[in-house]
């Protein structure tokens, strides 16, 4: 394994040293170029994540997601309970409104029948008034004719 010294330049790998080559210089160049995402094979064994730590990290992420989903589920259940209570209250209000509407419909039907009876009675009174008026006019005509006749006889 070769060590880089200050005399060695860190230029890009030459044609013979491709990025996939196993030379230390090429690995160092790639590590410098991609320093934010180091190659797991390039890291010393002490810095490589162990399978156990990877699993623990994954498990903690899963547990975190599980607890978040559990909290969301609890919120959804609470919201569902609230919605159920609201639905029950609205159904009760709807039932009471139905009763009020039925009462008013009964009143309307009652008033309609009273109106129809009053109209029938009014028509009958109107017809009777017309008959009485006609009889009155006949009586007036008869009285006028009798007055004329009386005045003719008295002369």
pLDDT tens for the chain, 155 residues: list them: 455 554 454 454 454 544 454 577 777 777 766 665 545 555 555 566 667 677 778 888 888 999 999 999 999 999 999 999 999 999 999 999 999 999 999 999 999 999 999 999 999 999 999 999 999 999 999 999 999 999 998 87
Residues 6+ apart with CB under 8 A from 11: 29
Cβ–Cβ < 8 Å for 51, 40 = no
Residue ranges per structural domain of the chain = 1-47, 58-154
By three-state DSSP, how is residue 74 classified? helix
**How far from 140 is each of 16, 36, 125, 134, 136, CA to CA, in Å?**
143, 125, 22, 10, 6
Cβ–Cβ < 8 Å for 2, 25 = yes
**Can you list the pairs that 67-72 forms with residues at least 24 positions away whose Cβ atoms lie under 8 Å?**
none
Please indicate, yes or no, whether the overall pTM of this predicted structure exceeds 0.75: no
What pLDDT is recorded for position 54? 75
Residue 27: other Cβ atoms inside 10 A: 17
């Amino acid at each position: 394994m070769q060590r880089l010294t200050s005399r060695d330049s860190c230029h890009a790998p030459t044609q013979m040293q491709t990025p996939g080559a196993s030379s230390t210089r090429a690995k160092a160049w790639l590590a410098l170029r991609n320093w934010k995402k180091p190659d797991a094979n390039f890291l010393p064994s002490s810095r490589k994540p162990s399978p156990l730590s990877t699993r623990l990290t994954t498990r903690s992420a899963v547990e975190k997601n599980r607890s978040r989903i559990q909290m969301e589920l609890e919120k959804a259940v609470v919201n569902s309970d609230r919605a159920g209570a609201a639905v029950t209250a609205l159904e009760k209000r709807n039932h009471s409104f139905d009763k009020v509407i039925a009462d008013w419909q009964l009143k309307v039907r009652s008033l309609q029948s009273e109106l129809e009876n009053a109209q029938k009675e009014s028509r009958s009174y109107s017809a009777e008034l017309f008959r009485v008026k006609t009889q009155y006019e006949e009586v007036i005509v008869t009285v006028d004719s009798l007055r004329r006749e009386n005045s003719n006889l008295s002369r």
